[in-house]
Structure 1
Amino acid sequence: MYLQFRADVEAALRDALEAAGYPTDDLGIEQPPEGVDAVLASSAAYRLASEAGAPPPQVAAELADALDLSEYEYVARADAQGPYVNFHPGEAYFGAALSVREDAGRLDPTGESVVVEHTSANPTGPVHVGRARNPILGDAVANVLEYAGNDVERHYYVNDAGRQMAVFTWAYETFEEEDLPEPERDRIEYDLVRYYRKGNEFLENAEPSAVEAAEAEIESIMQGLEAGDEETYERVGEVVDQVLAGMTECLARLPAAFDEFVKETRFMRDGSTDDVVSRLKDLDEAVYEEDAWQLDLPNFEKNLVFLRSDGTSLYTTRDLAHHEWKFDNYDRAVTVLGEDHKLQAGQLREALDLLGNDTSQLESVIYSYVNLPEGKMSTRAGTGVDLDDLLDEAIARAREEVETRLDDRIRDDDLTDEDVERIAHQVGIGAVRYDIVSKQPTKAITFEWSRALDFEAQSAPYVQYVHARCCGILDEARSGSEPASGGEPRADEAGAVPEGVDVSLLDAPEERDLLRVIARFPGVVESAADELEPHRVATYTREFAEMFNAFYRECPVLAADDPELRQARVALVAAARHTIANALDILGVEAPNSM
């Protein structure tokens, strides 16, 4: 209803401007000034003032008088306030908000296919906290694009052809189990990362002759991959697949799931990388310098190296073939990248341009890393904090908080130990995800428990509790009651006010504010998807929670004296529950039924 309201406002305003002889290229549609209870406002009077030869407030008043809103169902009236024209909703708009159910926030299909590549951490060991922002942000980006009506696939691009994997494979085949320390956790990537660390330690500290022999074997693995040697692929694949399986199990705890794991060796084996190299060499920008083929890109301080003197390709070369494959198979390609890949992303785009690709299909989300107060993390050194550790601690801290709160009040006999454990998982992991995804991607994050698990502040538990409270109200309304006498009302048709509910009874300021914020959800989804900024949804959930809590304080639901008012408020709680559940779903945060 919000998107239709906006479309109606744009149409009515455009007609009024045309009738007055004004240009319609900039309607100035925006959120109304603070304290104004309108849904939308137009600041067009500012830009029209000089042309009209009148001050903005006068132009705004003339525009408001000229508007014909008679054919628009959702827009009831417009008025001028200073330089703004404010547009106010009618009962049909509030009724549509009241009818929101399971599809809350889901937009009509766009017909576009979008591939979202995220995480893509090298399969060299456990996922570390410093990289945790990628799967959390990437999953939320994919979710919001899907809610916005796109056909979305989630891909993990697997670096299985670089030097790191050659080192890992050599180390795995060289060292014995008894030469390694105990694994930090009983899962395959923790077991195998010991070989990788041992191998790097050997290459740094062993005698030069031993290092030379090891480097020769590592080089032979890289050459075997480049030459398409099946035995070499199998050797490397044995390591990659095991480590990736463990990393995937870790990521599933967030949860972050993938539709496809795309290996870079795929583009070596099918000839795509060789084709890219051949075309790059033919470019005017291609130069052979410092024993390597490079692209001299004027917009960048560093050249893009795409082929070594020994004939082996680089990660970026294979990624060029990977992206051309994306362009052939999807309408849009979104990649979530850490800030240290910004240069590489820019060079990749320019190289794709030079190769004749339409890079308007390509979009990047660049993020800063997550730190803990203790400092930075390092996979190779084995001194960092694993994502598993962070999630374990999140669950433990959430469990402690839940149990403390239960001890501070009469324990609910219906809340079992299993319920406590479920809530601890939902709240703990939700706190990590929410705290990370709620920040603008380019802002660095230092994760702090006191903020993430604060039940009283604007954190995940604060928002999750709104959903749990809605569920509690609706459960109580249903017990012993049919919908007509107090249970959750159901709308048989999309967009219809639930049967027996009179939306005009919901006339308290807190009720209207909650209806407005419910109605605005599709617009939030649209803007978050357009800008690839899921933190906008998190900001919305905090505003939503404030509006719901104000309604809950001031407007008794089950204790309402008038049965019809009670029924209308139950319907409002139902609409609120579906809205906040889907907003949390976009963020990848579970919506508990009880807390």
Structure 2
Amino acid sequence: MFLPFREEVRAALTAALDELGYETTDLGIEEPPEGVDAVLASSVAFRLASEAGAPPPKVAAKLCEAVDLADAEYVGRVETQGPYVNFLPSEAYFGGTLRAGQQDSFGSLAPTGDRVVVEHTSANPTGPVHVGRARNPIIGDAVANLLEYAGNDVERHYYVNDAGRQMAVFTWAYETFDESDLPEPERDRIEYDLVRYYRKGNDYLESADAADVAEAEAEIEAIMQGLEAGDEEAYARVSEVVEQVLSGMRACLERLPAEFDEFVRETRFMRDGSTDDLVERLKALDCAVYEEDAWQLDLSEYGIEKNLVFLRSDDTSLYTTRDLAHHEWKFANYDRAVTVLGEDHKLQAEQLRTTLDILGNDTSKLENVIYSYVNLPEGKMSTRRGTGVDLDDLLDEAIDRARDEVTSRLDTRIRDDDLDEADVERIAHQVGIGAVRYDIVSKQPTKAITFEWDRALDFEAQSAPYVQYVHARCCGILDEARAAGIEADASVDIGVLDTPEERDLLRVVARFPAVVEAAAEDLEPHQIATYTREFAEAFNAFYRECSVLNAEGDVQQGRLALVAAARHTIANALDVLGVAAPESM
């Protein structure tokens, strides 16, 4: 009910301002300070004080008198507090919230009609997914979920770099070295098997005799030229490696889970002529120059000091060249294009957007989410020589630690001691992987973070287990009531839910659709994580003070309905974040 409440506030404020003869486009509508009973407040009196020739509190009082709530259903009354005009809820606001919260889809917004493509992860298929870049699939998946909850038709894409030098090196190494030349794989999955060839190839190119390296480089160059020329044999050779490595990377990402609707290959835009067409258009631009044996765009006029190289002297294109064609394809097929990128791609993203704009594209369709990297306490990690920590290692460790925590709590009877071994394993996976996702997605993307186990897996602190347990507790209450033949009834007189804790919980439930709306507009899923912690605090206060199963009559049925609304709210909030909502813990 928060969203229609806000619309009623806007309408009432606008009408009051018109009546008083004030003109302003900023109504100053905001959430009131903690402890204020209002749902929304307006600070517009600050902006009108000069025009009115009166201090803000007097302006607020005059405005409050002019507000007409005759047509309002969810705004109950309006009052002032100093310079603020506060809008308080009606009983219909609370009753409507209780009823709306009974829907499984609570929090989902009306369809926008927009087709949105979210591209994320897109790690080069050269080996296992590295934990340092784990923030990309976790944030990317949450952004896609969030946009879907906000009413958009969302597709999740992984852009596969199958045309660059790295893949040519990988293909050459795969075809050159024997199993006997390689160390044992670190894990029994295909990308761990094949990455040994890539690492062996890089070592060879750095340490072999100059003549041998020159021969190898010639073969690598031939593969790259073959791809550029659309040679089917070269494409097939590279694809054999790419497909195998991607299958393993997909298996890793599915553990998060982060799944994709389409893996869009870079070579697609070479094979269909898009890249060649783009190169010709780039050459014709006024800012195109041929310098240092390469075609480049001089973007200094647009505030970018580093030139964009788009064609080498051997007529091979670069990653960004092909990505330009990729983005023009996105613009032709989608209403919005969201890309999740690491901070080391900021310059490339600026060059790409500027170039697309110069080419006449509508770059308002393009939105980027930039993130900093995840570190473990040991420090920064590197993938090239296999010295870092893979995402699989982090997830394994998370599950092991969660299993130990759950088992320990069962042993001390802090948690449900009727769980069998399969339940413990299920919860360990849900809590362990949920802890990783939640801890990473709950931070602002632009802030570098260090992942810490004790914080992520703390059942009592504001972490994933803390929030997940709210959902498990809701399920336990509803299951016990159902077993006793007691049903929730959201149609009860809302007046029976009149304690401060019940009303506070209803207020938090009511805000969820608006939190989805704001987080989607800002592309910031961490706003949802912040909301889940506020929600957990409100629910736990309700749980402590308001017995559900020991209540009677309408109070019991109403409280059960409130628990059901809470369960749908927290389940969907966790779903946006990609975190499992356990039914028992």
What is residue 514 of structure 2 aligned with on the other side?
Answer: 523
* Partner SS state of residue 276, structure 1: helix
Shift of 1:34: 2.2
Instruction: Give me the identity figure in percent.
Output: 79
What is residue 295 of structure 1 aligned with on the other side?
Answer: 297
Per-residue deviation, residues 327-368 of structure 1 (Å, max 9, x unmatched) = 000000000000000000000000001111010000000000
Query: What is the letter of the counterpart of residue 16 of structure 1?
Result: A
Contact conserved, 2:488 with 2:559, CA < 8 A, in 1?
no
1:382 to 386, 392, 397: 386
Contact conserved, 2:488 with 2:558, CA < 8 A, in 1?
no
C-alpha separation in 2, matches of 1:411 and 1:230? 60
1:324 aligns with 2:328: yes
C-alpha separation in 1, matches of 2:554 and 2:29? 37
Query: What is the letter of the counterpart of residue 57 of structure 2?
Result: P
Per-residue deviation, residues 66-93 of structure 1 (Å, max 9, x unmatched) = 1011111111111010110000111111
Structure 2 residue ranges without an equivalent (≥5): none
| 1:558-573 aligned within 5 A | 558-560=549-551, 562-573=552-563
What is residue 531 of structure 2 aligned with on the other side?
Answer: 540
Per-residue deviation, residues 394-450 of structure 1 (Å, max 9, x unmatched) = 000000000000000188563110000000000000000000000000000100000
Contact conserved, 2:79 with 2:86, CA < 8 A, in 1?
yes
Structure 1 residue ranges without an equivalent (≥5): 490-497
* Partner SS state of residue 279, structure 1: helix
Contact conserved, 1:116 with 1:142, CA < 8 A, in 2?
yes
* Partner SS state of residue 363, structure 1: strand
Per-residue deviation, residues 445-496 of structure 1 (Å, max 9, x unmatched) = 1000000000000000000000000000001111131xxxx2234xxxxxxx
What is residue 48 of structure 1 aligned with on the other side?
Answer: 48
C-alpha separation in 2, matches of 1:413 and 1:74? 45
| TM-score in terms of structure 1 length | 0.97
* Partner SS state of residue 11, structure 2: helix
1:308 aligns with 2:312: yes
C-alpha separation in 2, matches of 1:269 and 1:277? 14
| 1:84-483 aligned within 5 A | 84-99=84-99, 100=101, 101-298=103-300, 299-409=303-413, 412=416, 414-481=418-485
C-alpha separation in 1, matches of 2:131 and 2:139? 13
Shift of 1:29: 0.6
* Partner SS state of residue 520, structure 1: helix
Shift of 1:377: 1.7
Per-residue deviation, residues 482-520 of structure 1 (Å, max 9, x unmatched) = xxxx2234xxxxxxxx24x22111111111000000000
C-alpha separation in 1, matches of 2:141 and 2:340? 10
C-alpha separation in 1, matches of 2:579 and 2:488? 24
Query: What is the letter of the counterpart of residue 96 of structure 1?
Result: G
Q: Aligned pairs, how many?
A: 581
Query: What is the letter of the counterpart of residue 484 of structure 2?
Result: G
| Structure 1 residues 431 and 410: CA distance shift in structure 2, 3 A | closer
Contact conserved, 1:479 with 1:487, CA < 8 A, in 2?
no
Runs of 4 or more above 3 Å deviation: 410-414
C-alpha separation in 1, matches of 2:414 and 2:518? 44
C-alpha separation in 2, matches of 1:410 and 1:358? 57
C-alpha separation in 1, matches of 2:372 and 2:502? 39
* Partner SS state of residue 27, structure 1: coil
Shift of 1:307: 0.2
* Partner SS state of residue 415, structure 1: coil
Query: What is the letter of the counterpart of residue 349 of structure 2?
Result: A
C-alpha separation in 2, matches of 1:79 and 1:425? 50
C-alpha separation in 2, matches of 1:348 and 1:185? 37
Query: What is the letter of the counterpart of residue 46 of structure 1?
Result: F
Contact conserved, 1:18 with 1:24, CA < 8 A, in 2?
no
C-alpha separation in 1, matches of 2:561 and 2:408? 33
1:586 to 571, 576, 580: 576
Shift of 1:575: 0.3
C-alpha separation in 1, matches of 2:162 and 2:88? 57
| Structure 1 residues 413 and 33: CA distance shift in structure 2, 3 A | closer
What is residue 29 of structure 2 aligned with on the other side?
Answer: 29
Shift of 1:121: 0.2
| Structure 1 residues 2 and 412: CA distance shift in structure 2, 3 A | closer
* Partner SS state of residue 419, structure 2: coil
Contact conserved, 1:352 with 1:359, CA < 8 A, in 2?
yes
Higher mean Cα deviation, 178-187 or 374-383? Answer: 374-383
C-alpha separation in 1, matches of 2:343 and 2:377? 20
C-alpha separation in 1, matches of 2:497 and 2:331? 50
C-alpha separation in 2, matches of 1:488 and 1:467? 17
C-alpha separation in 2, matches of 1:334 and 1:363? 5
